[in-house]
Amino acid sequence: MGVLGAEFTNCFPGVDESWLETVTSLKRDTYSIAGSLPSRGGSPQPIPDTLSDPALRILDKLERKKHYGSKCVQMETIRVHLCPGIDNFPAHIAQLMEMDILINNGDRDLVSLNPSKSGLISAILNRYRDAG
């Protein structure tokens, strides 16, 4: 029976340092060097640096409220209640839509976050929240 908190080498004595170094370098090369995320195709997906601060505020608020997929919100609700005081609001919404992060759900006034972009959204917001 194993001991909770036991050293890795005690649990898996057949694994040597060269194997650990290889796995660690592959993971580092694949995910973190260029500030990228794995995409469904296997190649890294770059994290954009071009989102405006108001667009990041909108994205942050929608993600915190879990407005993904069918959980839609009206544009006017975002503008007036969730993110008041944002100048040039339509331009920041358009920026999120161009990146396919924000999607229109039938009615042109209803939007939500694209569930297939949840990994990218999390990465963008982690960078935004860490910086702020």
Give domain status of residue 80, yes or no: yes
Give domain status of residue 24, yes or no: no
Give me the CATH number covering residue 105. 1.10.10.10
Give the confidence band of 127 by pLDDT, cuts at 50, 70, 90.
Answer: confident
The pLDDT tens digits for 70-106 are 999 999 999 999 999 999 999 999 999 999 999 998 7
Give the confidence band of 14 by pLDDT, cuts at 50, 70, 90.
Answer: low
Give domain status of residue 34, yes or no: no
Give domain status of residue 58, yes or no: yes
Task: Determine contact, residues 61/93, Cβ cutoff 8 Å.
Answer: no
Give domain status of residue 21, yes or no: no
Report DSSP state, residue 80: I
Query: 35 by DSSP, 3-state: which?
Result: coil
Predicted TM-score (pTM) of this structure: 0.66
Domain that holds residue 85: 53-131
Question: Could you give the angle at which helices 53-64 and 89-98 cross, rounded to 10 degrees?
Answer: 70
Query: For position 98, what pLDDT does the model report?
Result: 93
Q: How many domains does the chain have?
A: 1
Q: In what order do the strands lie in the sheet with 110-113?
A: 73-74, 110-113, 102-104
* Average pLDDT score, the chain: 79
Q: Which amino acid is at 110?
A: L
Give domain status of residue 30, yes or no: no
Beta bridge partners of 13: none
Nearest to 89 by CA among 76, 99, 73, 70: 76
Outline where 1-71 has alpha helix (H): 8-11, 17-31, 53-64
Give domain status of residue 94, yes or no: yes
